[in-house]
A and B are shown apart, each in its own frame.
Chain A
Amino acid sequence: MIYMLLFLEFFKTGLFAVGGGLATLPFLQNISDKYGWFTSQELIDMIAISESTPGPIGINMATYVGYKTAYLPGAVIAILGLVTPSVIIIVLIAHYYMKFNEHPMVQAGFYGLRPAVAGLIGAAGFEVAKLSLFNTNKYLLTQKFADIVNIKSLLLFAVIVFLLNKYKKHPIYFLLGAAVIGIIFKY
């Protein structure tokens, strides 16, 4: 039963996540909320691992989530679910030589869809920020306003954003740097 659900959820993700690896993130957050197969905290760690290993981010995430949920068969099924819509759509387009993406209606659809995707990724970032930059739980416990924000994390976030925009190096370098900082300053 869990295999069926896993396949369906990833089929849905593969069908609707337009615009690259991180576009799968809102769907995965949704899966986490709905089924509790993995926590949002684990999801963030999965992003880190997917970004620092070779291969498409979406596939890496699917493998990890699938494995976490139902081990090896889970990983295989999650990948199959994610890939199936792509294979069907692309084979149809290639077979009929459809200039599908040049049709004005399709372009008009994408004209509205793309900004929505930008918003979705932004919202996903916000969810991740809630977990890693703010300590809402600690605040509820201590009721001290200063405890809401994790100053060290916020500082690190600001530095990374600045460096990312200044030096357009591959994310893996920044993640490595952040890992070293994590060890040195022992959060």
Chain B
Amino acid sequence: MKSKSQLKLLLEIFTVFFKIGSFTFGGGFAMIPLIEKEVVENKKWVAEEEVVDVFAVAQSMPGAIAINSATFIGYKISGKIGAIIATTGVVLPSFLIITLIAIFFSRFQDAVVVKSVFSGIRPAIVGLISTAAIKVAKASIVDKTGIMLAILSIVLVVILDIQAVFIILGGAAVGLTVYCLFPEKTAKILSNGGKKD
């Protein structure tokens, strides 16, 4: 199986995903158009309809969207090895860049300029996170139960210091319970826009 052409294909998979990892700022959602362009238009590895399925799965399963998409597409092209190669390709630029920064940053973090840069950036980070939280809330809260769950999870974490894992599992449990108690009503909510777009 490991013919010359397969090695060439694996190398190509690696290069394409390395490129995707190197050129997208801002994570998963920013990568979607680039993945589409490379994998569907340029290389024609995956059909347009298939890639929509890939993104749907990538977004709803745990883990980074970029990693999930890379693994899925890599697997579709060339099985398990393809999945691993694509994932390695998409991860490697992050690893190289961040390691370099970490090495240098630990040397300069006590410099006055670096300190003042980060004192300006920190409030901006609060802004970014709160905007992200509002965006996720808008996309994921479809009814009163959702509002209550979101507020409850903030309270549980901030005041009672409950771990994130339990919040996630608890949220899923509430969702399933509501579904079991009111199957018809929940099915209706889920069918009209209950999904994240």
Measuring CB to CB, which residues of chain A are less than 8 angstroms from any residue of chain B? 12, 14-22, 25-27, 30, 44-45, 47-60, 63-64, 67-68, 72, 75-76, 79, 82-83, 85-87, 89-91, 93-95, 100-101, 104-129, 131-133, 153-154, 156-157, 160-161, 164-165, 170-172, 174-175, 177-183, 185-187
Give the complex CA separation of A183 and B25 in angstroms.
Answer: 24
Q: Of A123, A131, A183, which one neighbours B120 at CB under 8 angstroms?
A: A183
Residues of chain B within 8 A (CB-CB) of A18 are 60-63, 168
Q: With contacts defined as CB atoms under 8 Å apart, how many contacts are there between chain A and chain B in the complex? A: 388
Assuming A56-B28, A108-B176, A113-B171, is B128 touching A174 (CB within 8 A)? yes
Interface size grouping (class) on chain B? 35 or more
- Contacts A111-B178, A183-B117 aside, 4 further interface pairs with beta carbons under 8 A come to A53-B25, A55-B66, A59-B91, A112-B172
Is there contact, CB below 8 Å, between B97 and A55? Answer: yes
Q: Of B27, B163, B179, which one neighbours A58 at CB under 8 angstroms?
A: B27
Give the complex CA separation of A26 and B157 in angstroms.
Answer: 9
Residues of chain B within 8 A (CB-CB) of A175 are 121, 124-125, 128
Most interface-central of A108, A128, A157 (chain B CB within 10 A): A108
Is there contact, CB below 8 Å, between A63 and B157? Answer: no
B interface SS class: helix
In the complex, whether B154 has a CB less than 8 A from a CB of chain A is yes
Give the complex CA separation of A117 and B94 in angstroms.
Answer: 25
In the complex, whether B152 has a CB less than 8 A from a CB of chain A is yes
Tell me the nearest residue of chain A to B173, going by C-beta.
Answer: A112
Is there contact, CB below 8 Å, between B25 and A54? Answer: yes
Give the complex CA separation of A36 and B130 in angstroms.
Answer: 25
In the complex, whether B84 has a CB less than 8 A from a CB of chain A is yes
Is there contact, CB below 8 Å, between A50 and B98? Answer: yes
